Chains A and B, each alone.
Chain A
């Protein structure tokens, strides 16, 4: 589900296929991992292309390499967050996040997993996005 979440996060960069670089810190391994991919933000869908896999996410369904995958609660929530950041409309996510300038602070149950979300925009377009998890994992996505 977190995969889906991140895939969706990447989608905020552009409506068209946009390349991105992702840096991931895995706390248990004490190791940084780097990944590259492309994201396409459609009208109702987000497509994520990696060297070996493709994810397609809509409001109600998730497909991995064209095969449907189980859609989870967290997926629904995160989908809402991504659209919120992309459209600059935070009404839907305000139940689960304190919305501050360039950051979202999780509240309620979500705060037990995610510490905070930070993003930077330049001329209305996202430059980068940082996430920090409670278990020490970190993700940085750079356009």
Chain B
């Protein structure tokens, strides 16, 4: 067991190559803990919905509470990214100028309008104390209703009814979430909430969990390797090879995507349990010592697994795309490293074991599996809400509910509405709450009536008029943007965001809805890929070994059946389904191995290393990682069952 000197040169060269690649591409800077980054094409739509607001409250209405909220306000405003929540002045002025075009005109006769104008004139002249007329609709000619906020104000300060004083602030874009979070926590308000807190808190929760899982996985793998690979140099080189392939895959994925989900990194770490299989097979078979005549099963196994990931990458979902390409790069590179750089390792003493257990006929299990699959297909539930995979931050949810309920903001949902022209879009906006509802709707008849109304008012003594006499405005995207209103042009259509209680007829706009839409669209793709995968594999099995076709097929169908059983207890999410296909593509490897003269110990060890890699994920408190772990564990148990209890001689 002597390692030739030159065999150190290659790993060294590889290490330098990877270090330069990592420095050049900086893949670690692209790692993101935010779940929303996984939305592929619609995530920019959510940006205006991320309300950069901050709510702080102090309990009680006494002078002490008032002083406290004032002090907190002063401290908060000292932060460069926190400002007072202000109204849209440009839009308010616009409302004043075009009120008669914006709001619906009441059905009043010329005489009635004239009478109202004269009454107002007398009131203005006779009043002992000067009074201000309504700036938007002084004569009440439209359906405009002045909003009454007096319920939310006391002693010149905003209040939360039945609780205490309130402060509402705007947070500027580009704020550092963690620093902002810490800064607000230091202010010692009784309760504080900002949607931006989720970024900071959830990121911490995810990071803690991921650290826990990676540490656990590292220890399990380390113990596992220490026990199995007695050769210290081989152990060292194996660990290096796994680390190299992981970093290489991360670098390559960073070229393909804008930000890498932290889940991809964890998945990649656990995947090293699979990557190391190739080394096991060569090592235990003694092929690390000779390059020629290596068994084709290892290569076939690698190709089918990679093919599985490659096919899945086309499903059209960002996270799956990342996981697949990470896996492809990682597996191929580790296969290449193990089969080219590792040489001159004597195989260990054969410690083959064949458990003597009662065997089940493969055909019998095959029939049972088919029936079970039909039953499961009819009864298993699928959960399309990917947000369920995200962190459950219940403490922050409670705070959010507290503010939103007291400010009566909980009922409305964000929706997307679109039209072929801006005027059509403005007309549509009247059906919901949107900034576009404050824009003028022009038509010739209305312009004529507005002119008449202004003449009547002038004739009643208001020389300078009460309403603006500017003609109805024509809007462009530019003029709307100057009014602080965002309208997007998508193809031929204009799109804007509104809020409504009744979302019927509108496209709902929330992370949940977008994820669901996206998942519904890829669900078909996922099933299609699964079916094509099964057909192609069956064909490969048939061509590879016709005699053991049923046994080989069982290695796909039986683990699938067992993994689907999970769906009887909890609805299967997208990652469960994804992992099912992955385990199936791994299971195929085992179908090749058991049907060849491969050393049994290599097969059991590689199964155990896969178990060690993905199994630890069930200890994660994050549903996303737990789902991957759960499917993996049941899949591996099923494969193990097949290896121990099924007769292979049929």
A: residues with CB less than 8 A from B are: 1-4, 6-7, 22, 24, 26-31, 33, 35, 37, 48, 50-53, 55, 70, 72-73, 76-77, 80, 108-109, 112-113, 133, 135-137, 139
The answer to whether A2 touches B149 (Cβ under 8 A) is no
The answer to whether B87 touches A109 (Cβ under 8 A) is yes
The answer to whether A112 touches B92 (Cβ under 8 A) is yes
Which residues in B have their C-beta under 8 angstroms from that of A77? 156
| Given pairs A3-B131, A26-B124, 14 additional interface contacts (CB within 8 A) | A2-B132, A4-B129, A26-B125, A28-B463, A28-B464, A28-B465, A30-B463, A50-B128, A55-B129, A76-B153, A76-B155, A76-B156, A109-B87, A136-B464
The answer to whether A133 touches B132 (Cβ under 8 A) is yes
Which residues in A have their C-beta under 8 angstroms from that of B138? 28
Among B134-158, those with CB < 8 Å from A are 135, 138, 149-150, 153, 155-156
Which residues in B have their C-beta under 8 angstroms from that of A52? 128
Which residues in B have their C-beta under 8 angstroms from that of A37? 128
Which residues in B have their C-beta under 8 angstroms from that of A51? 128
B127 within 8 A of A: yes
B466 within 8 A of A: yes
B: residues with CB less than 8 A from A are: 84, 86-87, 89, 92, 121, 124-125, 127-133, 135, 138, 149-150, 153, 155-156, 461-466
A17 to B125, CA, bound (A): 25
Which residues in B have their C-beta under 8 angstroms from that of A139? 130
**Residue from the list A4, A28, A76 in contact with B133, Cβ < 8 A:** A28
A65 CB to nearest B CB, Å: 11
The answer to whether A73 touches B156 (Cβ under 8 A) is yes
Which residues in B have their C-beta under 8 angstroms from that of A80? 156
Smallest CB gap from A2: residue in B:
B132
Which residues in A have their C-beta under 8 angstroms from that of B128? 3, 35, 37, 50-53
**Residue from the list A3, A31, A113 in contact with B130, Cβ < 8 A:** A3
What are 8 inter-chain pairs, A to B, with CB distance below 8 A? A3-B129, A7-B129, A22-B130, A26-B125, A33-B124, A55-B129, A73-B156, A112-B89
Using A73-B153, A76-B156, A77-B156 as known contacts, say yes or no to A29 and B461 having CB atoms under 8 A apart. Answer: yes
Which residues in A have their C-beta under 8 angstroms from that of B131? 2-3
Give how many A-B residue pairs fall within 8 Å (CB-CB). Answer: 74
Which 4 A-B residue pairings sit nearest by Cβ, starting from the closest?
Answer: A3-B129, A50-B128, A2-B132, A30-B463
Which residues in A have their C-beta under 8 angstroms from that of B130? 2-3, 6, 22, 24, 137, 139
Which residues in A have their C-beta under 8 angstroms from that of B155? 76
The answer to whether A31 touches B125 (Cβ under 8 A) is yes
Smallest CB gap from B467: residue in A:
A28
Smallest CB gap from A3: residue in B:
B129
Which residues in B have their C-beta under 8 angstroms from that of A133? 132
Smallest CB gap from B120: residue in A:
A28
The answer to whether A28 touches B462 (Cβ under 8 A) is yes
B467 CB to nearest A CB, Å: 10
The answer to whether B132 touches A109 (Cβ under 8 A) is no
A73 to B150, CA, bound (A): 7
Which residues in B have their C-beta under 8 angstroms from that of A73? 149-150, 153, 156
A133 to B130, CA, bound (A): 12
A35 to B465, CA, bound (A): 24
Which residues in A have their C-beta under 8 angstroms from that of B89? 112
A76 to B157, CA, bound (A): 10
A8 CB to nearest B CB, Å: 10
A117 CB to nearest B CB, Å: 14
The answer to whether A108 touches B84 (Cβ under 8 A) is yes
Smallest CB gap from B89: residue in A:
A112
Using A6-B129, A33-B125, A73-B153 as known contacts, say yes or no to A27 and B464 having CB atoms under 8 A apart. Answer: yes
Which residues in B have their C-beta under 8 angstroms from that of A35? 128
Which residues in A have their C-beta under 8 angstroms from that of B461? 29
A76 to B138, CA, bound (A): 24
A106 to B530, CA, bound (A): 68
A139 to B131, CA, bound (A): 11
A92 CB to nearest B CB, Å: 9
A104 CB to nearest B CB, Å: 16
A5 to B156, CA, bound (A): 14
Which residues in A have their C-beta under 8 angstroms from that of B121? 29
A138 CB to nearest B CB, Å: 10
Which residues in A have their C-beta under 8 angstroms from that of B463? 28-30
Which residues in A have their C-beta under 8 angstroms from that of B135? 135
Which residues in A have their C-beta under 8 angstroms from that of B462? 28-29
A53 to B128, CA, bound (A): 7
A44 to B237, CA, bound (A): 86
Smallest CB gap from A35: residue in B:
B128
Smallest CB gap from B93: residue in A:
A112
A35 to B138, CA, bound (A): 23
Which residues in B have their C-beta under 8 angstroms from that of A70? 150
**Residue from the list B86, B124, B127, B466 in contact with A109, Cβ < 8 A:** B86
Which residues in A have their C-beta under 8 angstroms from that of B156? 73, 76-77, 80
A26 to B125, CA, bound (A): 9
A133 to B131, CA, bound (A): 12
B156 CB to nearest A CB, Å: 5
Using A3-B129, A48-B129, A135-B135 as known contacts, say yes or no to A72 and B86 having CB atoms under 8 A apart. Answer: no
B88 CB to nearest A CB, Å: 11
A37 to B130, CA, bound (A): 13
Which residues in A have their C-beta under 8 angstroms from that of B466? 28
Smallest CB gap from B465: residue in A:
A28
A73 to B153, CA, bound (A): 7
A139 to B132, CA, bound (A): 12
The answer to whether A3 touches B127 (Cβ under 8 A) is yes
Smallest CB gap from A24: residue in B:
B130
Max chain B Cβ within 10 angstroms of own Cβ: one of A4, A22, A28, A139? A28
Max chain A Cβ within 10 angstroms of own Cβ: one of B87, B124, B129, B131? B129
B537 CB to nearest A CB, Å: 69
Which residues in A have their C-beta under 8 angstroms from that of B127? 3
Which residues in B have their C-beta under 8 angstroms from that of A22? 130
Which residues in B have their C-beta under 8 angstroms from that of A28? 124, 133, 138, 462-466
A135 to B86, CA, bound (A): 21
Smallest CB gap from B156: residue in A:
A76
Which residues in A have their C-beta under 8 angstroms from that of B465? 28
B207 CB to nearest A CB, Å: 40
A51 to B129, CA, bound (A): 11
Smallest CB gap from A10: residue in B:
B129
Which residues in B have their C-beta under 8 angstroms from that of A30? 463-464
A30 to B461, CA, bound (A): 9
